[in-house]
Structure 1
Amino acid sequence: MPSNRQVRLNGINIQISEQGEGPLVLLVHGFPETAYSWRHQLTALADAGYHAVALDQRGYGASDRPDGIDQYSIFHLVGDVVALIHELGEEQAVVVGHDWGSIVTWNTALLRPDVVRGVVGISVPPLPRGPLPPLTLSERKFGADFYQNYFQEPGVADAELDKDVASSLRRIYCGVPAAEPSPGFAGKYDEPETLPSWITEDELATFVEQFTASGFTGGLNYYRNLDRNWEQTAAWQDVPITPPALYISGEQDAVRMMYPFDDDKRAIVPNLRGVVDVPDCGHWTQQEKPDVVNAAILAFLQGL
């Protein structure tokens, strides 16, 4: 079973869940999730001879939640990953991310390739720095009510999602488009009568307890730095991600339609070792199809 503890990184407390001994594999969750989203991977990696560590990223779960929006930039998030690798006594790790965690791990491999033995991105592919700020591009492509643009106004999405945490998470995780959508993010989805097979009521209750305690503001602040990140990473325009890489995505993941893994994205990962398309799988990849994801990660690790 994984054990939990807190570590001090970059002036804040970060909660980690860890299991096993061996080469370090760091697991980085997305929105709205926590380290608990990697519960199926921690044991599988530990059993295969790895030190598997999942963190609650800053703003999430039992980790600290700095007040300032500017405390959630890509440099802060990558800084936490690098500091954690060193705090755990290692010079390098394989970094695995899902959703926003993928953005963090791709950027860790970009900004600090010296600490990354290999990088696995799940759902979100490596995203080249575009010609315009991301929120300008998303509004042009998807409209002003696109969720990433909706998230920008402090307090608005926070209040919507906090109002009924259990309902918000049920809607978001199940992703059943609403017949009559209500305003907001979770309101785009109907609340299902029963949960999908990949998550139990007890597992959902764990996430509900965590987000009831933490709120959603920390995670939303990641989106509020999208344009700031673009401005501050100008020096990395067109720089390739050089560590060995693997990309995994569910065939029914809506992210595939928003950000298809096309030639532009492949071009920035010259050491791409594979692409895994997971059948009958939506966005919550490592929770929906843990056996497929675990096998893909382990095969990639064995090839390093």
Structure 2
Amino acid sequence: MIQHRTIETNGVNLHIAEAGEGPLVVLLHGFPESWHSWRHQFAPLVEAGFRVVAPDQRGYSASDRPSDVTAYSILHLVGDVVGLIHALGEQTAFVVGHDWGAPVAWHTALLRPDVVRGVAGLSVAPAPRGEHPPLELVKAAYAGRFYWTYFNQVGVADEEFGRDPKATLRRFVYALSGDAPGEPGIHQALIEPGTAWLEQLAAPTEQPDWFTEFDLDELAKGFAEGFTGGLNWYRNLDRNWELTAAFAGASITVPALFAYGDRDPVAYFPGAPELIANLPKLVPGLRRPPVVLPGCGHWTQQERPAEVNRLLVEFLSELRDEQA
């Protein structure tokens, strides 16, 4: 049975969901999500002999939401993961992340390989640090239309998404899923100047089987106070680039796994296809080539729970046995 409690670490209170006994596995959600996005992974991982913990990361749901935008840097987020592992009485853990949780997982493995026994990322591959700030690059490439630019207009996306959180999440989840009509691509991440993003996203005709009305209600509860906490992660993109200068050229050396859906818009972001193709060379610890899930959109572990669970159980069990 999944239990809930609050852990104080790294200067914040984090709500966690936990179950099982054994080696620790930390599951990190993305935007706009919560621990609930991992609901399908708990039972299989517990049955495989793992202790599973999924936090609401800072800025989300029942966890603290610092008011200072700079409190959402990648170093703060990695600090939360490391602090959580230690607060749970462990020295090391396996770390798994989806969407924004994936960069947090990748950076935790990069910056603290002594703490991470293995790392898995879903949807977002580990990108090397570029030569220029990321917001500068996307502004130039897409004339300010890329959604990162929109999210960095303080208060704009906050107001649009916060008007009706449930309606926002319903459309957001559907539009980026494998069920949405049309071909996936960068066009789904572009916003016409002076328009609202939600108006450009495909509206669902019915709720997908893998994301029920109950799931939507559970997710919406965490955004009753708005989306600013999660949006603040995007408002640190350039600052993260500055803070990680010392790690330019460094590689993730711990055992790694990456999987994504072939209908995930993120797979078509600038440089993403080339990055995924070269991942075996860029990530020495990668245990197998990137895994492609046919017909799957952005919400990897929710849309394809059986396939993702099989991948995670195999990957983590193999590492546990090797490291025993």
TM-score, structure 2 as length reference: 0.90
How far off its partner does 1:232 sit?
A: 1.1
Indicate conservation of the 8 Å contact 2:61/2:221, yes or no. no
* Matching residue's letter, 2:266: V
Indicate conservation of the 8 Å contact 1:177/1:188, yes or no. no
Instruction: Find the aligned partners of 2:125 and 2:276 in 1 and give their Cα distance.
Output: 9
Indicate conservation of the 8 Å contact 2:92/2:114, yes or no. yes
How far off its partner does 1:177 sit?
A: 7.1
* Matching residue's letter, 1:199: F
How far off its partner does 1:264 sit?
A: 4.7
How far off its partner does 1:161 sit?
A: 0.2
* Matching residue's letter, 1:191: A
Question: Which residue of 2 is the match for residue 56 of structure 1?
Answer: 56
Indicate conservation of the 8 Å contact 1:124/1:255, yes or no. yes
Q: Does 1:183 align with 2:198?
A: no
Question: Which residue of 1 is the match for residue 214 of structure 2?
Answer: 202
1:284-299 mapped onto 2 (5 Å cutoff): 284-299=299-314
Q: 1:86-107 CA deviation, whole Å, 9 max, x = no partner?
A: 0111111010000000010000
Question: Which residue of 2 is the match for residue 34 of structure 1?
Answer: 34
Indicate conservation of the 8 Å contact 1:96/1:105, yes or no. yes
Greater mean alpha carbon deviation, residues 255-264 or residues 65-74: 255-264
Question: Which residue of 1 is the match for residue 187 of structure 2?
Answer: none
How far off its partner does 1:267 sit?
A: 3.0
* Matching residue's letter, 2:295: D
Provide the secondary structure at the position in 1 that maps to 2:217: helix
Question: Which residue of 2 is the match for residue 13 of structure 1?
Answer: 13
Question: Which residue of 2 is the match for residue 239 of structure 1?
Answer: 250
How far off its partner does 1:195 sit?
A: 1.1
Indicate conservation of the 8 Å contact 1:97/1:105, yes or no. yes
Q: Does 1:269 align with 2:280?
A: no
CA RMSD in angstroms, aligned pairs only? 1.8
How far off its partner does 1:142 sit?
A: 3.3
Instruction: Find the aligned partners of 2:243 and 2:139 in 1 and give their Cα distance.
Output: 21
Provide the secondary structure at the position in 1 that maps to 2:168: helix
5+ residue gaps, structure 1, are none
Indicate conservation of the 8 Å contact 1:128/1:265, yes or no. no
Instruction: Find the aligned partners of 1:142 and 1:299 in 2 and give their Cα distance.
Output: 40
Provide the secondary structure at the position in 1 that maps to 2:41: helix
Q: Does 1:211 align with 2:226?
A: no
Indicate conservation of the 8 Å contact 2:110/2:250, yes or no. yes
Greater mean alpha carbon deviation, residues 58-67 or residues 271-280: 271-280
Identical columns (%): 52
Indicate conservation of the 8 Å contact 2:48/2:317, yes or no. no
Instruction: Find the aligned partners of 2:248 and 2:112 in 1 and give their Cα distance.
Output: 15
Instruction: Find the aligned partners of 1:38 and 1:86 in 2 and give their Cα distance.
Output: 21
How far off its partner does 1:266 sit?
A: 3.6
Q: Does 1:171 align with 2:182?
A: no
Q: 1:230-254 CA deviation, whole Å, 9 max, x = no partner?
A: 0111100010111000001011111
* Matching residue's letter, 1:296: L
How far off its partner does 1:272 sit?
A: 0.4
5+ residue gaps, structure 2, are 183-190, 320-324
Question: Which residue of 2 is the match for residue 124 of structure 1?
Answer: 124
**How many pairs align?**
303
* Matching residue's letter, 1:201: E
Question: Which residue of 1 is the match for residue 74 of structure 2?
Answer: 74
